[in-house]
Amino acid sequence: MDEQGNKKKGRTVYLPPSFMEAQLLTGFDASTSGKGTNNPEPLLLRIQTPAVLPNDVKANLAGCFVIAEAVGRLDKERADVRLVSLSCLSNEGKAIIDTPVKGFVTDSDSKVGLSGRVVSRMGAATARTIVAGFFGGMGDMLKSAATTQSTSALGTTTTVDSSQIAKYSLGGGLSEGAASLHDFYLSLAKRATPVIEVGAAKKITVIISEGKELEIREIEGEPF
């Protein structure tokens, strides 16, 4: 006989659109930039109560884990969360459910997404850019004070006063070093987009938006 034919097929149960209370186990900082959509933050949720199905029917999914992904929305000051997968294990450790699901979450205010705190790290980088620009200006001023300009029919000539060589060198070093720092911190400030900061242990509601056939797979060998 075919070996695959001897294998016992896993049982299935249909999970219709439903909702259940859950707890956010992992905090996160969701980027609000366009690149954040392509690189969402992973989340781990734990189901706290049985799922409420249509007609007040309940399914005991308490204790199951849900993997989700979050993207920051600066206009709403919230993080949009989309469900990825649902994982459950029987009390005896002999059966498991691990399947992709579609859905979203709502916060305690019943609005879609999770409210959070807008955190911008641009301020520090911008301040350092200003400081670097200040020192660059000081360096240029020292260089200018150590030189003498003379104008003739041949044009303008700049000469360094021999007694001011040390001042000129110091000004040149400050100017060039500050210019490099200015460019670095300016680039850093452009990349430091605001994030939506959401802490762990938040009480939320998980909503399954599309019905799913859940396969219950038997675990061979010793249970967990």
Quick: pLDDT tens for 53-69: 999 999 999 999 999 99
For residue 219, the model assigns a pLDDT of: 79
| Least reliable range by pLDDT among 22-31, 161-170, 175-184 | 161-170
For residue 154, the model assigns a pLDDT of: 60
Q: Where in the chain are the domains? A: 8-116+198-218, 122-191
Mean pLDDT, residues 12-37: 88
Orientation of helix 122-145 relative to helix 165-191, angle to 10°: 160
pLDDT interval class at 213 (50, 70, 90): very high
On whether the pTM is more than 0.85, the answer is no
CA distances to 21, 38, 98, 112, 220 from 31, rounded to whole Å, are 26, 10, 28, 18, 42
Are the C-beta atoms of 198 and 28 separated by less than 8 Å?
A: yes
Furthest CA-CA distance within the chain: 106
For residue 161, pLDDT beyond 70: no
State the chain's mean pLDDT as an integer.
80
For residue 212, the model assigns a pLDDT of: 94
What is the spatial distance between Cα 166 and Cα 174, in angstroms, rounded to a whole number? 12
For residue 6, pLDDT beyond 50: no
Residue of 216, 205, 217 lying closest to 68 (CA atoms): 205
Q: Give phi and psi for 153, each to the nearest 5.
A: -65, -20
Mean pLDDT, residues 158-187: 65
| Least reliable range by pLDDT among 77-91, 109-123, 149-163, 198-212 | 149-163
Domain 8-116+198-218, CATH class in plain words: mainly beta
Residue of 103, 112, 104 lying closest to 212 (CA atoms): 103
For residue 116, pLDDT beyond 90: yes
